[in-house]
Amino acid sequence: MREKNDNSTKFEFLLKLNDNIVCQRYFNVKSYNPKTLKSLELHQEVLDVVNELKETLKYKTSDYMAENYHMFLDGNDLEKDNTLNDYFTISIRKDDKNVITRYFEGSIYPPKVRYTVDIRPSLRRILKDFTDTLSGKNATTNYLTYKLQ
């Protein structure tokens, strides 16, 4: 059993599709720097995860459409999709409060793609990157003449 390190802070990574949890992981950050919560680096890290997920969904959509090309040629709809407002949410939470949240449209991907999303192969790296960002010594908390809030 691991000993609890007094110098670590617990965070939560949460990926949701609408109100359904797709992936939820807790991770500890050693030498946590509170300034990173309002930093450009944290914002960029979340944006990188969103872009990576969008790329994965795009490729899976392409594969799905290629496998089902005959349905397009027949003029049939692949699936009747009435969920026009599906959205993904990526959040980092601390003490049950959202630190940063990013939303993106999920309805543009076929239901068989968006309902079977799996980030487990990348999860270890994603959490490591968040840990590194949240323990960073030099946090950029200003953008041009604005203080990030």
Instruction: Judge whether 144 lies within some domain.
Output: no
Instruction: Judge whether 17 lies within some domain.
Output: yes
Query: 1 pLDDT exceeds 50?
Result: no
Q: What span, in angstroms and rounded, lies between the C-alpha atoms of 121 and 91?
A: 19
Amino acid found at 63: D
Instruction: Judge whether 1 lies within some domain.
Output: no
Instruction: Judge whether 38 lies within some domain.
Output: yes
Q: What span, in angstroms and rounded, lies between the C-alpha atoms of 83 and 51?
A: 22
Q: What span, in angstroms and rounded, lies between the C-alpha atoms of 61 and 63?
A: 5
Q: What is the mean pLDDT of the chain?
A: 86
Query: 5 pLDDT exceeds 60?
Result: no
Please state the pTM of the whole predicted model: 0.82
Check residue 134 and give its pLDDT.
Answer: 92
What is the DSSP code (8-state) at residue 93?
E
Instruction: Judge whether 138 lies within some domain.
Output: no
What is the DSSP code (8-state) at residue 18?
T
Domain, as residue range, for 49: 9-76+86-132
Instruction: Judge whether 137 lies within some domain.
Output: no
Grade residue 38 by pLDDT with cuts at 50, 70 and 90: confident
Instruction: Judge whether 140 lies within some domain.
Output: no
What is the DSSP code (8-state) at residue 101?
E
Q: How many domains are contained in the chain? A: 1
88-93 average pLDDT score:
96
